[in-house]
Amino acid sequence: MRIKIIKASPKKMKTKPKDESKLGFGKIFTDHFFNMKYKDGKGWYDAVIEPYRPLKLDPTAMCLHYAQEIFEGLKAYRGPNDEIYLFRPTENIKRMNSSAERLCMAQIDEEIFMEALKKMVILEKDWIPRGSGTSLYIRPTLIATEAALGVHPSNEYLFFIVVGPVGAYYPQGFMPTKIYVSEEYVRAAKGGTGFIKAAGNYAASLYASRIATGMGYTQVLWLDAKENKYVEEVGTSNIFFLISDELITPPLTGTILPGVTRNSVVKLANYLGVKVAERLLTIDEVISSLEKGTLKESFASGTAAIVSPVGQIYFRKKEYLINGGKTGPLTEKLYNEILQIQYGLKEDPFGWRVKILEGKKTKKK
Ligand code: COI
């Protein structure tokens, strides 16, 4: 299938942000978006990149009623010579299709998905910011569009991709966050949808997040739904703890999102000679390690958050500082190493970077 491109008229193009330090996250979108439709019996059709516009949906479109809606998040980076990279895009494509399978939605052909990503980013390349920590965030989304109120898998879907320049996910930038351990609310239970990027997972997280932010915390640290004792995720990201000399992150047992950044951190830390364990970790072990002084660092990982230090934990009415509330050296190293790989500033021993546009040729000295 060919992707048709209809360009926005220059008069209607938006003004690009001038101050990259004020980009924030997910507030600015470019001039175009990709979309493609699906119908049972017909398959995918009408792949187009066209001027950005509101969607037209029937009020009974099933995504609006029964949350058949999934999404992905990845980024495009501008290299030092203006070349453009994606970071492990195949992982997002595969995860989107595993999310689609779990919610009985139409899966997307991997080749057309990749082509849509590349064409969108290349068309909007002038929107990709230059500053460190900035990038073009890419949000592929799949929604059920059949107009029907009976509860069943939709027979029609819309897949679309919007992109927009972003800076740091948290307003405070690369600064330690404060996290609140929720014992009352849970994010996901075994057998549920915690391992996929279902929009409904995020809706279900808002109530506890509002309690946490109302108390001055940045994010919720989620515990498992069954025993309420194993650490699972933090906010919209995966979580890591450095206890003694072991970097620990909870294993992918079905309730945790298999983060692309999580996987990259595990591989990178191993490569750097850090001992990494993907194992169950109780909140009691976290707290007792804090009390003993063996818990040295903690950070969250995610596409949006990259590697985001955790400086404080609130649990059962007590506050615990991690590394004196400051970013630890391993957290900082992993953050820098990942960014440098993403921006093409250093060797990529893992083959994660995908160059989608050549840059200016550099002069040979
Ligand atoms: C991402 O890191 O891309 C995410 O999906 C987090 C998002 C919900 C802001």
pLDDT, tens only, 11-32: 999 999 999 888 999 999 999 9
The pLDDT value recorded for residue 97 is: 98
Angle at the Cα of 94 from the Cα atoms of 128 and 136, rounded to 5 degrees: 10
Atom in ligand 1 nearest the alpha carbon of residue 303: 2
**Considering the domain 4-166, what is its CATH architecture?**
2-Layer Sandwich (3.30)
Atom in ligand 1 nearest the alpha carbon of residue 139: 3
Report, as an integer, the average pLDDT of 244-264.
97
User: Would you say the CB of residue 304 lies under 6 angstroms from ligand 1?
Assistant: yes
Lowest mean per-residue pLDDT among 88-92, 167-171, 222-226: 167-171
Nearest-angstrom CA–CA distance, 169 and 160: 22
Q: Is the pLDDT of residue 190 over 80?
A: yes
How many residues belong to the chain? 365
Average pLDDT over the chain, rounded to whole? 96
Atom in ligand 1 nearest the alpha carbon of residue 261: 2
Distances (CA, A) of 234 to 199, 215, 362: 17, 16, 42
User: Would you say the CB of residue 309 lies under 6 angstroms from ligand 1?
Assistant: no
Q: Is the pLDDT of residue 365 over 70?
A: no
The pLDDT value recorded for residue 87 is: 98
Q: In angstroms, what is the span from residue 134 Cα to ligand 1's centroid?
A: 15
Contact partners, residue 363, CB within 8 Å, separation at least 6: none
Give 106's Cβ-side CA count (13 Å radius): 25
- Token pair in block for residue 257: 């999102």
Q: Is the pLDDT of residue 356 over 70?
A: yes
Report, as an integer, the average pLDDT of 88-107.
98
Tokens 């025993």: give the residue. Answer: 227
The DSSP symbol for 251 reads -
CATH superfamily for domain 177-342: D-amino Acid Aminotransferase, subunit A, domain 2 (3.20.10.10)
The pLDDT value recorded for residue 364 is: 55
Cα 86 from chain centre: 14
pLDDT, tens only, 194-214: 999 999 999 999 999 999 999
User: Would you say the CB of residue 327 lies under 6 angstroms from ligand 1?
Assistant: no
User: Would you say the CB of residue 236 lies under 6 angstroms from ligand 1?
Assistant: yes
Lowest mean per-residue pLDDT among 54-58, 132-136, 228-232, 326-330: 132-136
Q: In angstroms, what is the span from residue 178 Cα to ligand 1's centroid?
A: 18
Q: In angstroms, what is the span from residue 237 Cα to ligand 1's centroid?
A: 7
Report, as an integer, the average pLDDT of 113-132.
96
pLDDT, tens only, 335-353: 999 999 999 999 999 999 9
- DSSP-assigned letters across all residues of 169-214: SSTT-SS-EEEEEESS--S--TTSSTTS-BHHHHHHHHHHHHHHHH
Q: Which residue's alpha carbon is nearest to atom 3 within ligand 1? A: 73
The pLDDT value recorded for residue 169 is: 76
Report, as an integer, the average pLDDT of 50-72.
98
Phi/psi at 11 (5° precision)? -65, -30
131 and 174 in contact (C-beta within 8 Å)? no
pLDDT, tens only, 81-94: 999 999 999 999 99
User: Would you say the CB of residue 73 lies under 6 angstroms from ligand 1?
Assistant: yes
User: Would you say the CB of residue 92 lies under 6 angstroms from ligand 1?
Assistant: no
Domain ranges of the chain: 4-166, 177-342
User: Would you say the CB of residue 140 lies under 6 angstroms from ligand 1?
Assistant: no
The pLDDT value recorded for residue 363 is: 54
User: Would you say the CB of residue 167 lies under 6 angstroms from ligand 1?
Assistant: no
